């Protein structure tokens, strides 16, 4: 090792410049050493937005890991990179003004991002392709612990593909040398992501699979597909985040078979977040908040959705103090044998929901190993919600004839829809669609202006108001094959409030425009 000594200013100490693998490294001050911080420029990073800085960044990470851990620091600059490989006990810190830029994939397929790892063919068909690969990403880590990405900087996945073939400049969005995720983590624990921003994150701004003790705080995502996909994870906290994702879901917990087994996503809190799907990508980050053109309305996504990958299911979930703006609504889905149990939702505001403020679905697509039983959905409490300007589709609670949804409670809810449905819509009999992909539109138009409830047990609604901007011929509530239904303090538009078919044990009390009823037995009809 060749040393070039020079005097440092801190306490008269002596620093050194060493050659590590041919790269000059400026010795750190004593204060820097105490903090364990490492400057990527010391390992050859240029930060000019043109030179590929991946080798220097990965050397800095390796150096920090070899020392037992530390912080790899990105000063202000633009660091064009292919795949950055995380290591345990290492933090990436992006200073204000620092950008990690996803470089364009090589046209000849040589070099570029890490190749997607091979997938066991026995399970590859049990989840979408994107949930089966992690390494073809801008930043990835597997089997790691105590890792973090922090700071006020930006991760810009400019050169990442969407993974769906809609990138004109990528002939093969999943081919050699291409990347399609900003951050991908598999089988990690003790992970913190905080304060930075993601622009154009590719297929997933974050794909976290089998990650335990995951904290995501104050992260702004302005992206061209999914925001956060949190799959088979435990003990997760998502807080104070903003996600604009016009073409896909914003915050999307899942529970796939990608780890070769069903694993429950559990102990999850989502709080103080904004999700939206109708701003031009980049405008939220820039603070200009430019809406998508009017014709984009049919493609709006955004939202918080649990599913559709549901082999393990979801348990112990809390969502609170969140805003949905020009997006799809809140969804809980299990169609592959998993559970949805013990859920509380509170303090939501929604504006401009495009397909059902709430969608609760228990189905039997059963994409997974043969022999699994159909899943369960029970013990869900939703309260203190205001929604305005939602489209014609009502909220949906839909189970199966032999596997009903159980113990669902709504309280202090105001749901305002545009109304104005044609008269014929009130007489529709929607299909069961038991094997269908779970989405609020899966049953087509629905014969209710507020809630369509089918195959459910023990449903209660207290202080729930259904309002429409234009007169609507549909009843506020349509119930089919529902047992033990209680409606207290409900307020609906004048006209028919309930349409019942094969309902057992039905009660209403203290409802505006309606007389109290207690029916201990089967009932069908409209009133």
| Each residue's pLDDT tens digit, 248-263 | 999 999 999 999 999 9
Residue 183: partners with Cβ closer than 8 Å, 6 or more residues away: 137, 138, 139, 140, 149, 155, 193, 198, 201, 204, 205, 206, 207
Predicted confidence at residue 314, as pLDDT, reads 98
The answer to whether 396 and 358 have CB atoms below 8 angstroms apart is yes
Could you tell me the two tokens for 381? 């409490």
Predicted confidence at residue 31, as pLDDT, reads 63
Q: Is 526 helix (H, G, I), strand (E, B) or coil?
A: strand
User: Percentage of the chain with pLDDT > 90?
Assistant: 85
Q: CA torsion sign, 265 to 266 to 267 to 272?
A: positive
The answer to whether 202 and 163 have CB atoms below 8 angstroms apart is yes
The residue whose two tokens read 């509380």 is: 344
Element (H, E) at 345: strand 339-351
What does the CA dihedral 44, 48, 53, 57 come to, rounded to 10 degrees? 70
Give, as one character, the DSSP assignment of residue 237: E
Lowest mean pLDDT among 3-12, 50-59, 94-103, 420-429: 3-12
Q: CA torsion sign, 32 to 33 to 38 to 43?
A: positive
Predicted confidence at residue 393, as pLDDT, reads 98
The answer to whether 398 and 452 have CB atoms below 8 angstroms apart is yes
Query: pLDDT tens-digit profile of 348-367?
Result: 999 999 999 999 999 999 99
pLDDT-based confidence at residue 128 (cuts at 50, 70, 90) = confident
Could you tell me the two tokens for 450? 């507020």
Does residue 4 carry a pLDDT above 70? no
The answer to whether 339 and 362 have CB atoms below 8 angstroms apart is no
Taking residue 121's Cβ as centre, other Cβ atoms within 10 Å add up to: 7
Predicted confidence at residue 26, as pLDDT, reads 45
């Amino acid at each position: 090792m060749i040393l070039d000594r020079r005097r440092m200013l801190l306490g008269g100490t002596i620093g050194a410049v060493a050659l590590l693998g041919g790269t000059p490294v400026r010795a750190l001050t004593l204060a820097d050493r105490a903090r364990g911080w490492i400057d990527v420029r010391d390992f050859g990073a240029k930060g000019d937005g043109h030179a590929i800085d991946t080798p220097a960044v990965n050397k800095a990470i390796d150096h920090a890991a070899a020392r037992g851990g530390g912080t790899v620091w990105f000063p202000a600059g633009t660091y064009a990179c292919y795949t950055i490989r995380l290591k345990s006990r290492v933090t990436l810190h992006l200073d204000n003004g620092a950008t990690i830029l996803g470089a364009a994939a090589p046209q000849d397929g040589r070099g570029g991002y890490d190749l997607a790892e091979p997938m066991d063919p026995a399970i590859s068909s049990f989840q979408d392709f994107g949930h089966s690969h992690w390494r073809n990403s801008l930043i990835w880590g597997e089997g790691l612990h105590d890792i973090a990405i922090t700071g006020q900087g930006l991760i810009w996945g400019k050169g990442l593909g969407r993974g769906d073939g809609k990138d004109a400049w990528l002939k093969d969005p999943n081919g050699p040398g291409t990347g399609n995720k900003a951050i991908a983590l598999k089988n990690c624990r003790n992970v913190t992501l905080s304060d930075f921003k993601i622009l154009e994150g590719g297929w997933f701004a974050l794909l976290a699979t089998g990650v335990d003790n995951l904290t995501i705080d104050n992260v702004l995502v302005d992206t061209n597909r999914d925001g956060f996909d949190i799959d088979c994870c435990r003990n997760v906290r998502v807080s104070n985040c903003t996600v604009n994702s016009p073409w896909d879901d914003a915050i999307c917990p899942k529970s796939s078979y990608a780890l070769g087994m069903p694993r429950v996503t559990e102990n999850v809190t989502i709080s103080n977040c904004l999700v939206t799907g109708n701003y031009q990508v980049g405008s939220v980050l820039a603070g200009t908040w430019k809406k998508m053109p009017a014709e984009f309305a049919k493609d709006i996504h955004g939202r918080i959705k649990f599913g559709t990958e549901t082999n393990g299911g979801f348990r112990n979930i809390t969502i609170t103090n969140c805003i949905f703006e020009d997006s799809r609504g809140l969804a809980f889905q299990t169609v592959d044998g998993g559970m949805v149990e013990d859920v509380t939702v509170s303090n939501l505001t929604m504006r401009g929901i495009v397909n059902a403020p709430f969608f609760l679905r228990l189905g039997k697509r059963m994409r997974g190993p043969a022999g699994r039983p159909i899943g369960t959905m029970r013990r869900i409490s939703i309260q203190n919600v205001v929604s305005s300007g939602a489209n014609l589709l009502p909220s949906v609670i839909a189970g199966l004839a032999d596997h009903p949804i159980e113990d669902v409670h709504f309280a202090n809810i105001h749901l305002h829809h545009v109304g104005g449905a044609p008269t014929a819509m009130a007489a529709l009999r929607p299909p069961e669609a038991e094997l269908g992909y779970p989405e609020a539109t899966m049953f087509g138009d629905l014969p209710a202006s507020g809630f369509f409830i089918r195959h459910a047990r023990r449903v209660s609604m207290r202080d729930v108001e259904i309002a429409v901007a234009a007169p609507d011929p549909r009843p506020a509530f349509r119930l089919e094959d529902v047992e033990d239904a209680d409606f207290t303090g409900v307020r609906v538009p004048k006209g028919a409030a309930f349409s019942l078919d094969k309902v057992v044990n039905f009660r209403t009390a203290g409802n505006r425009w309606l007389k109290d009823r207690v029916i201990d037995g089967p009932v069908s009809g409209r009133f």
